Structure 1
Amino acid sequence: MKKTIKVSVFFSFILLFGILFGIYQATDGELGATATQISEETKPESNIVATEKPKKEKAKEENNQEDGSTNKELMEKQKRVEEVKPFNFYSELGAKMGKGLEIIFHQVVTTIITTIHSFLNG
């Protein structure tokens, strides 16, 4: 009875890690596919943007003539954003934690896969 439970738990862990590994592999492949889809979708829009560009430039020129202070306001906002960037501690901490967890997960999965491979190929 104990042997049956041990075998079932062992296979359950193998299936669990297989599922996790499959999801990991699927998301890597999916991100590459969406990037190519996005680049293909933006190509036709570039022709539309190129034909509408003179209209937008005319509108910008009219706005700049009407509001000379717009550029000054944008420069002030840009300076404020540059000052706030170093204080974004939690964002950087979260990114580092995510990267660390990704590395740990990758190493765990690699270790498990190589152990199973060496066990099966003896």
Structure 2
Amino acid sequence: MVVHHDPRATALSDDEVDRIFRALADTTRRDILRRTLTSDTSVSQLAALYDMSFAAVQKHVAVLEGAGLVTKHPHGRERQVRGNPEMIRRAQALLDRYEQIWRGRIDRLDSLLAEDGH
């Protein structure tokens, strides 16, 4: 059974797109996202992985959280960070739409070139 999703349900606003791609433009944030997609990780555990201050890692996590790419939730005395695969799926859907546009353009160009080749 094929499930079709309403594209409006996954559409991102321009502000959301800007926040997502700004967040993903940084190597450290991409690494934090990768790590938190496989398991919940505390901010202090993340901070131990990077050669930067705890506050700097907190800022990176805040940027990811502002983009909806991660969520934070309390676990005892610490805050656990969890990657948000749904937001990644929504961003992927946007990129897929761009790919469809370009593939359509390439197909039209191929058709035009084939017509000229007669």
Give TM-score, length-normalised by structure 2: 0.31
Higher percent of residues as strand: 2
Higher RCO structure (Cα 8 Å, ≥6 apart)? 1
Give TM-score, length-normalised by structure 1: 0.30
Higher percent of residues as helix: 1
Bigger radius of gyration, 1 or 2? 1
